Each structure stands twice: as structure tokens, then as C-alpha cells.
């Protein structure tokens, strides 16, 4: 969360172009944004607006914020400056010991203007620079600071940008006559495909045509420049009003691309992945949010073919299991940067487990710390809500389960998705009947249960309607008390699922407004597949479309829902 950028060039560029670059990272947080170009410190609350100025600069740091410490105010917006304005910083992460540092710095005469933990770092450097070089100050910082940071710093009178990393993502982009440092490669992937990833406790001095990395003792380190390849669709809205709809419409293409990759460029990795799964005594998935729902589907698929597997929500990982050298831990993550997942993997690695990951963003931290990694090839997802990435995560789960004997034809999946799209108008009409509701329930059993949870999550985050995704069987153990006349209940009604039919009858008998998504059986939405695995993916797409239309009726900011960010890099 929070996106940071530093640009150092030996040619002048328009500030508005640098801010457009920051806009590419806006999915990391959109509470406020700001920049410092060596002269002007600008910041503003709200979504990023491209400034209407022809001002130029050759060096700049920029920040887009997802608030952690301190409210969403102009004072708390980054960049932050030290008292004498000698040091300016933009920070992503959390400085855990900021309160004690702040007290010490106040005693030394520093005046703080924000409530943030981040501001402390600017004052810290100013204080250190009274007696030390910048390099020495960076070494001290890495020793003194507790917490996580990707930090970019500009110091008055110094022509470089300095950047430090611990646990928050940071990457250097090597351009022609210009160097970029940013939270992720999107910030510069249109300009250069050459990058160097910071590892923990490294810092770098970044000039216009040179850079030098150092370890935490200040020893120089030579790092390899990596050339990255990034499959992606056009990152503009084209004819769509929102990225959410554009990304849903890309689902057939990205499914094809993933399936093709498993037979071509990912073939060997895919075989190795399956081999690791076969050899492991224990297979444990770990993920958060939507990716967790994909992993839960994976667990159901594997159990269907006799393979024991489990999944744990990343933030609870270490409370639940004993992992050891015979465990294969499979993280699933769109961003590849989710802090809870990374922390779970650190725990797993410490206990000797092997890591085989499934990610979307290439070169992300989770991919880089894995023994082996499969890419879901969904391309860049700009809407905060995961849509096409979920579809590809689940497609990959099905492809994996197929290797263990699960019977599914994936080749016609893109066509089946297109068929769901033909029902857009019907789904829109359903949304018109539901958008004023305060609560709704989504019920599923077996393979449809994770999908019920996923649909409910999507509805909550984008339309702000309280939705609960439940196991059909659990309903009568308490929640049914909430069903009254007119309560909407979306039922995922798979062919032959007689128990689910009964559950829907039970709520209908209590006055619920039942909306069924069904295959074969007559329902409000009819999906044409007899495969229960594919039914789940297709039903989740119905849920995505329904969510979209609910939010449209409610005139909500579909791509940037309140309080959220796409890359959750704090615990």
C-alpha cells in the first residue's frame, strides 16, 4: 500500500508526466498524493489529479497514500520534510518505533507537522546528517529502525536520490539517461524493461546515469540488471467506463493465454510444480481475500481426486500448522506482494518447507522468494477488485487438479465465459431489483461454497452492500434467523444438488427473495456446463457482473472503492 517513485534524469521532464507515472501506481492507495521536485512541495487529498502546469524538473520524488498512521489530511500527505527542509522523503511501510524516535527528535528541536510515522524518517536523516554522510546515515537507519519501509529520499545540495528497502517492495528501473526507483515495475514498464530489485536491508544511491547498491554494513554490492517481460492488455479504458468491466471482458482472452502458456513457455515449470506436489507429504495453500477463495476451490478440486490439501488464510498461518521440510506451501497472490502472505512464507521457510507460488505480477517478491513459480498471465489488473485474476487463478487450480485426475475440459472455458457475457442484460435487471438492499446472502455447497464467499466479497467491496457467503448447510445453524420477507438470497444451484435445493426452499418458505444461479436446472441465471468445477468459475463471473451493475446503480467509484488498495503491503 502506498506507491512511491523517484526519478533522476539528466534531461528535464514535465512534472505532469511524472505525476502520470504516479497515476500508474494509484491502485496502491488513493487517499492523497504529492511530490517534491527539489523546489516545490505539493500535496493534495484525494485521487491523483494531473497538474495543469508546464513546469519541468530533472529530479523528483512522488507518493500516493493509503493511510495507516494519521487521518486522510493534507498535513499527513507525503512527501514529508524535516524541520530545516534539508531532507524530503516518500515512504511506504510502517515505522514501528516511530513514537520513541519522534520523542527523541522533538527533544533535539525538531518540529513535526503530521501525525504520521513516516515523517520521523525525514527528521531522523536531518539529525544524522549534522555529523554523518548520507551513506553513514543510511547504515544507521537500517540498524535503528524497526518496521517496514520502501523509502526514497532527497537531500538538499545532493544531486542523487537515495532509496532503502525492508519488507516493502522497491525496484530500480534503468532507463536511458534516467533512473527510476519505484514500488513496482508498472511505474516505468512503458519506458524500460530493465530492472534491479532491492532485497531487504539494501540501499542505493541513484544518480542520473549511475547507481550503486549497498548492503546494511555499507559494503558495495553488484546486482544483476534483469530484463522483464510483462504480458498485458491495453492499460487504458478504451470504450469502457470502468476498468472492472474491461477486465471482466478480458477473461476469455486471459484464460486462453494461461492455458496456452501451460503447454508452451510454462510447460516445464508446470511439470516441476506438479512433481513437487506429488512428492510433498503435505500440501498447504496460503493466501488472502479473493486469492484465498481461489485456493479454497483448489483444495476442493484436489480432494475430489483423492489428494489431501489444506489452505490457511495468510494472516492466521502461523497459529494453525506445523510446517516442515516435507510440506509444500503454495502461496496464491495476484500482486505477489501481500505482506500477510510474505510473512507466512518466511515462517514456512524457517521451518524448512518448500515454496511453489502462483502469482500474477511477474518479478514480485513472492515469485522471487519461491523455489518455483507459475504465472497466471492475467495481465495488469487496474480495478482494485480482483476479477480476471481470480478467474485465472481458478483456471490454474483446475488445470492442476486435472493432472491428479479431475475430469474437466478446459478448452471450451473461454467460450463458456462468452456465453455468460450474453446474460449481461438479465444480470443488470436483477441488480436493479437489489441495489437498495442493505443485506444479502449467497449460498453454495461443496465446490460452490468458495464461490459464494467470493461473490459476497465482491459485492461488499464494490457495492458496499453487506453480503455474506455461506455454506448452504450452515444456514440453519443460526443465520436463518436473519431471513425475513424480501431478504435477497442468491443460491448457487448445481445440477443434482438436492440439498441446496432444500436450503433454497427453506429460505423461500420464510419469505426470502431467492435468486438462483444454476446449471441445467431452471433458474434466474442459467449457466451451460455440466462440470461442477467450471460451474464455479462461471457463477463467480455472474457475481462479478452483478456487483458491477449494483455499484453502477448506486453511482459508486467502482474501480477505486473506499478504504481499499490493490496491493496490501502492511500487516
286 binds ligand F6R (CB under 6 A): no
Residues from 456 through 485 that contact ligand F6R (CB under 6 A): 457, 461
Q: Which three cell numbers stand for residue 514?
A: 431467492
Largest CA distance in the chain: 77
Catalytic residue flag (residue 2): yes
Q: Which of 2, 86, 128, 383 is catalytic?
A: 2
Q: How far apart are CA 303 and CA 300, in angstroms?
A: 5
Q: Which three cell numbers stand for residue 99?
A: 513514537
Q: In the complex, which residue's CB is closest to ligand F6R?
A: 289
Q: Binding ligand F6R by CB under 6 A: which of 334, 365, 540, 544? A: 334
Q: Binding ligand F6R by CB under 6 A: which of 7, 283, 386, 394? A: 386
| Backbone phi, psi, residue 44, to 5° | -155, 145
Whole-number minimum distance, CB 34 to ligand F6R, in Å? 25
The dihedral built from the CA positions of residue 304, 308, 311 and 316, taken in this order, carries a sign that is positive
Neighbours of 495 (CB within 10 A): 13
Q: Which three cell numbers stand for residue 484?
A: 425475513
Of the candidates 405, 27, 344, 359, the one whose C-alpha atom is nearest the C-alpha of residue 186 is 27
Whole-number minimum distance, CB 339 to ligand F6R, in Å? 9
374 binds ligand F6R (CB under 6 A): no
289 binds ligand F6R (CB under 6 A): yes
Q: Which is nearer to ligand F6R, 202 or 461 (CB)?
A: 461
Options 12-20, 100-108, 284-292, 416-424: segment touching ligand F6R (CB under 6 A): 284-292
Residue with cell 513496482: 184
Q: Which is nearer to ligand F6R, 454 or 524 (CB)?
A: 454
In DSSP notation, 81-135 reads E-TTS-EEEEEEEEETTHHHHHHHHHHTT----SS-STHHHHHHHHHHTTTS-HH
Q: Which of 23, 128, 304, 566 is catalytic?
A: 566
Options 222-230, 282-290, 494-502, 525-533: segment touching ligand F6R (CB under 6 A): 282-290
Catalytic residue flag (residue 305): no
Decide: 442 and 543 in contact? Cβ < 8 Å: yes
Options 135-143, 155-163, 334-342, 510-518: segment touching ligand F6R (CB under 6 A): 334-342
Q: Binding ligand F6R by CB under 6 A: which of 9, 160, 179, 333? A: 333
Q: Which is nearer to ligand F6R, 258 or 385 (CB)?
A: 385
Q: Binding ligand F6R by CB under 6 A: which of 43, 81, 261, 290? A: 290
Q: How far apart are CA 31 and CA 181, in angstroms?
A: 21
Residues from 15 through 74 that contact ligand F6R (CB under 6 A): none
Q: Which is nearer to ligand F6R, 3 or 289 (CB)?
A: 289
Q: How far apart are CA 1 and CA 121, in angstroms?
A: 18
Q: Which is nearer to ligand F6R, 446 or 561 (CB)?
A: 561
Cα three-residue angle 282-285-289, rounded to 5 degrees: 160
Q: How far apart are CA 92 and CA 116, in angstroms?
A: 11
455 binds ligand F6R (CB under 6 A): no
Return the bridge partners of 516, or none: 491
Q: Is 31 exposed, middle or buried (0-12, 13-18, 19+ CB in 10 A)?
A: buried
Whole-number minimum distance, CB 546 to ligand F6R, in Å? 14
Residues acting as catalytic residues: 2, 566
> Rule CB under 6 A: which residues touch ligand F6R?
288-291, 333-335, 338, 341, 385-386, 457, 461, 568
Amino acid at each position: 500500500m502506498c506507491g512511491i517513485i523517484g526519478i533522476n534524469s539528466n534531461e528535464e521532464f514535465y512534472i505532469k508526466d511524472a505525476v502520470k507515472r504516479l497515476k500508474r501506481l494509484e491502485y496502491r492507495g488513493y487517499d492523497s498524493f504529492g511530490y517534491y521536485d527539489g523546489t516545490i512541495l505539493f500535496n493534495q487529498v484525494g485521487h491523483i489529479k494531473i497538474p495543469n502546469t508546464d513546469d519541468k524538473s530533472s529530479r523528483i520524488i512522488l507518493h500516493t497514500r493509503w493511510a495507516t498512521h494519521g487521518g486522510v489530511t493534507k498535513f499527513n500527505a507525503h512527501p514529508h520534510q524535516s524541520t530545516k527542509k534539508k531532507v524530503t522523503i516518500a515512504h511506504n511501510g510502517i515505522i514501528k518505533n516511530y513514537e520513541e524516535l519522534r520523542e527523541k527528535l522533538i527533544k533535539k528541536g525538531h518540529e513535526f507537522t503530521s501525525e504520521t510515522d513516516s515523517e520521523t524518517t525525514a527528521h531522523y536523516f536531518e539529525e544524522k546528517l549534522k555529523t554523518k554522510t548520507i551513506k553513514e546515515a543510511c547504515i544507521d537507519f537500517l540498524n535503528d529502525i524497526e518496521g517496514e519501509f520502501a523509502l526514497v529520499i532527497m537531500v538538499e545540495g545532493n544531486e542523487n536520490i537515495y532509496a532503502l528497502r525492508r519488507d516493502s517492495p522497491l525496484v530500480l528501473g534503468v532507463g536511458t539517461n534516467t533512473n527510476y526507483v519505484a514500488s513496482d515495475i508498472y511505474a516505468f514498464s512503458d519506458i524500460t524493461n530493465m530492472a534491479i530489485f532491492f532485497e531487504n536491508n539494501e540501499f542505493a544511491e541513484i544518480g542520473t546515469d549511475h547507481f550503486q547498491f549497498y548492503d546494511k554494513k555499507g559494503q558495495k554490492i553488484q546486482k544483476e540488471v534483469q530484463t522483464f517481460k510483462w504480458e498485458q492488455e491495453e492499460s487504458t479504458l478504451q470504450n469502457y467506463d470502468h476498468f472492472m468491466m474491461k477486465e471482466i471482458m478480458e477473461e476469455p482472452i486471459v484464460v486462453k493465454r494461461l492455458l496456452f502458456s501451460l503447454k508452451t513457455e510454462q510447460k516445464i515449470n508446470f511439470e516441476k510444480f506438479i512433481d513437487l506436489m506429488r512428492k510433498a507429504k503435505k500440501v498447504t495453500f496460503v493466501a488472502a481475500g479473493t486469492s484465498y477463495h481461489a485456493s479454497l476451490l483448489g483444495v476442493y478440486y484436489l480432494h475430489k481426486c483423492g489428494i489431501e490439501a489444506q489452505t490457511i488464510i495468510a494472516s492466521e498461518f502461523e497459529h494453525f500448522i506445523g510446517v516442515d521440510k516435507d510440506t509444500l506451501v503454495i502461496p496464491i497472490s495476484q500482486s505477489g506482494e501481500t505482506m500477510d502472505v510474505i510473512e507466512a512464507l518466511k515462517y514456512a521457510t524457517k521451518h524448512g518447507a518448500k515454496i511453489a507460488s502462483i502469482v500474477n505480477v511477474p518479478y514480485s517478491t513472492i515469485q522471487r522468494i519461491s523455489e518455483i513459480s507459475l504465472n497466471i498471465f492475467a495481465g495488469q489488473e487496474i480495478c482494485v477488485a480482483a476479477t480476471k485474476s481470480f478467474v485465472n487463478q481458478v483456471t490454474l487450480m483446475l488445470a492442476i487438479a486435472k493432472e491428479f485426475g479431475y475430469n474437466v475440459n478446459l478448452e471450451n472455458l473461454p467460450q463458456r465465459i462468452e456465453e455468460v457475457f450474453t446474460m449481461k442484460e438479465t444480470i443488470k435487471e436483477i441488480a436493479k431489483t437489489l441495489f437498495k438492499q442493505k443485506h444479502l446472502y449467497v449460498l453454495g455447497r461443496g465446490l460452490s461454497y468458495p464461490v459464494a464467499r467470493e461473490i459476497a466479497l465482491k459485492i461488499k467491496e464494490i457495492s458496499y452492500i453487506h453480503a455474506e457467503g455461506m455454506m448452504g448447510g450452515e444456514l440453519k445453524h443460526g443465520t436463518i434467523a436473519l431471513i425475513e420477507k424480501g431478504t435477497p438470497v442468491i443460491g448457487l444451484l448445481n445440477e443434482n444438488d438436492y440439498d441446496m435445493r432444500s436450503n433454497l426452499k427453506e429460505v423461500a418458505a420464510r419469505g426470502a427473495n431467492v435468486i438462483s444461479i444454476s446449471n441445467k436446472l431452471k433458474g434466474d441465471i442459467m449457466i451451460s456446463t455440466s462440470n461442477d468445477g467450471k460451474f464455479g468459475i462461471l457463477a463467480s463471473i455472474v457475481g462479478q457482473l452483478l456487483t458491477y451493475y449494483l455499484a453502477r446503480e448506486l453511482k459508486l467509484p467502482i474501480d477505486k472503492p473506499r478504504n481499499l488498495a490493490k496491493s496490501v503491503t502492511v500487516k
